[in-house]
Amino acid sequence: MSEPGELARVREGMEVVDRGGKRVGTVAEVRAGDPGTVTAEGQEETDTSAFDAFVGSMLDRELHEQARARFARLGYVRIDAAGLFQGDRFAAADEVARIEGDTVHLTVDADSLLG
């Protein structure tokens, strides 16, 4: 579980590594969450637009709504994934373990990130 406020320390351009130290990519966007959010209904389109554009096209509607609500509640980091044709990956705020220098360390393996 991340320390309180760790997401607030994440900045665009920081390196991101998974729990094993494998490079995932660089931070492309950081969105703070709203802990009072139970569902994503009523959220402004721009709040999760990058997430919706990517995930909404690949997941069934029910799973998409569950993931969207989780990301709206917790906040997230959009990661420009390393490697050719990798695209974006998304890490929820609770998947950020710590920040060391200019590196974001995750609590999960890169393969378990949405993306």
Q: How many CA atoms lie within 13 A of 79 on its CB side?
A: 31
Residue with tokens 């710590």: 98
Residue 92, both tokens: 């929820």
Question: Would you state the pLDDT for residue 34?
Answer: 81
Provide the pLDDT for residue 25.
Answer: 95
State both tokens at 68: 């969207």
* Nearest to 10, CA basis, from 99, 80, 83: 99
How many domains are there within the chain? 1
Is residue 87 a part of any domain in this protein?
yes
Residue 79 forms part of a structural domain: yes
27: left (phi over 0), alpha (psi -120 to 50) or beta: beta
pTM given for the model: 0.76
Query: Which residue range is the domain that position 68 belongs to?
Result: 6-34+43-112
CATH number assigned to the domain comprising residue 88? 2.30.30.240
Kindly state the tokens that stand for 6. 């760790």
Residue 1 lies in a domain: no
Residue-by-residue pLDDT tens, the chain, 115 positions:
455 578 999 999 999 999 999 999 999 999 988 876 655 454 444 455 665 655 554 445 566 778 888 888 899 999 999 876 678 899 999 999 999 999 999 999 999 998 7
